[in-house]
Amino acid sequence: MGGDPRTTLVIVTMDRFESLVETILQVEVDEFAEVLVIDDSEASDLRKWCATKRVTWMQGPGENIQAARNCALHRCSSEYISFVDDDVLLPTNFGSRVVDAFESHPDAVVVGGPTISNNVEEARNVCYREKMSINTHTGTVHDDSYRWVPEQPVQVDLLKGANMSFRTEALKEIGGFDTRFGGPAQREETDVMVRIRRLGDIVYDPSLHCFHKQRGSDAQSTGGEFNEEFITWRFSNHGYFVAKNFGTRTWILGLLSILVRVCGNPESLLQLVYRRTMLDQTFGVARCFVAYREGLSRAKEAYDQTGEA
């Protein structure tokens, strides 16, 4: 079925050939102005495969996912640009659904939907609240898109990076994605949402639901063992995100919030203890707080270099 090709579909990938192929094989290519793969892999297998599927392949910058997404943004001339992960399965007529969502919500600058996952062993599951919000007083993030499917489209504060579609000109106006977020790039999509929300609404639409093949716990492990580096980067990037977007005062309140609150993201002290004692994950709790402090330093360094964080 042909769609309304006003959307460019972008998938950033690195060394995940089989997963990316499975994702693309269930994409209706004709629905999009272009299906664009930004590839940071060293092997050339994916380039050859894309050439047989009317999919545009581009070599990635080899920096991080934000830089790769910015490469796609600079190339894009369509009205809308959709980013999905290389381990996401899209619903039928996804391109048409994106266009319909924007047309139904003319004030929206970003639309996205649930990214359902078989994620059952996360510490955050005890804090499931059916909301996607950011507390601007502490910078605390609540994100339940892995399981929350609302009955009707709702306005939210953020969307998951695995399933987000933008008005292209709005994303270009805010300068795209911040490449200073490090490691696995936690918080880079939240940062974009905070900045672009000044231009319009963020809409969470159940018609855009996708399935996330990768469990969240898999992303945090290496060889079956919990990866301490992942959670450390989460705290470092969150500290940077809060200081950059809300200032030092909120950063301090955010630190106090981590010590006393029960739920939220990044994990509170109670959630960190839950991870260690109930999920048998080995990591340094004190190291998480040190990483959060490092995020503030990164924000100050960015400001000193550019005049803006």
- Are 79 and 194 contained in the same domain? yes
- Are 257 and 296 contained in the same domain? yes
- Are 166 and 68 contained in the same domain? yes
- Are 194 and 260 contained in the same domain? no
Q: What is the structure's pLDDT at 261? A: 93
Residue 143: pLDDT band by 50, 70, 90 thresholds?
confident
- Are 161 and 286 contained in the same domain? no
- Are 52 and 182 contained in the same domain? yes
Which of residues 194, 218, 242 is at a domain's end?
218
Total structural domains within the chain: 2
- Are 157 and 288 contained in the same domain? no
Query: Where does the chain have alpha helices with state H?
Result: 17-25, 45-50, 65-75, 94-104, 168-173, 188-196, 216-219, 228-246, 248-260, 269-278, 285-306
- The answer as to whether 12 is a domain residue is yes
Mean pLDDT over 216-222 rounds to 46
Q: What is the pTM of this model?
A: 0.91
Distance in angstroms (rounded) separating the CA atoms of residues 292 and 236: 4
Residue 209 has pLDDT above 90, yes or no: yes
Q: What is the structure's pLDDT at 123? A: 45
Residue 224 has pLDDT above 50, yes or no: no
- The answer as to whether 130 is a domain residue is no
Q: What is the structure's pLDDT at 120? A: 46
Mean pLDDT over 160-180 rounds to 97
- The answer as to whether 204 is a domain residue is yes
Residue 195: pLDDT band by 50, 70, 90 thresholds?
very high
Which of residues 195, 218, 241 is at a domain's end?
218
To the nearest whole number, what is the mean pLDDT of the chain?
A: 89
Residue 215 has pLDDT above 60, yes or no: no
Residue 187 vs residues 80, 213, 234, 264, 287: alpha-carbon distances, Å: 22, 21, 8, 14, 19
Question: Where is pLDDT greater, at 149 or 203?
Answer: 203
pLDDT tens string 38-95: 999 987 789 999 999 999 999 999 999 999 999 999 999 999 999 999 999 999 999 9
Distance in angstroms (rounded) separating the CA atoms of residues 65 and 253: 29
- The answer as to whether 135 is a domain residue is no
Q: What is the structure's pLDDT at 219? A: 47
- The answer as to whether 287 is a domain residue is yes
Tell me the CATH number at 52. Answer: 3.90.550.10
Residue 1 has pLDDT above 50, yes or no: no
- Are 278 and 198 contained in the same domain? no
- Are 209 and 195 contained in the same domain? yes
Which of residues 218, 239, 270 is at a domain's end?
218
Task: Give the domain extent around 23.
Answer: 7-114+149-218
Residue 290 has pLDDT above 90, yes or no: yes
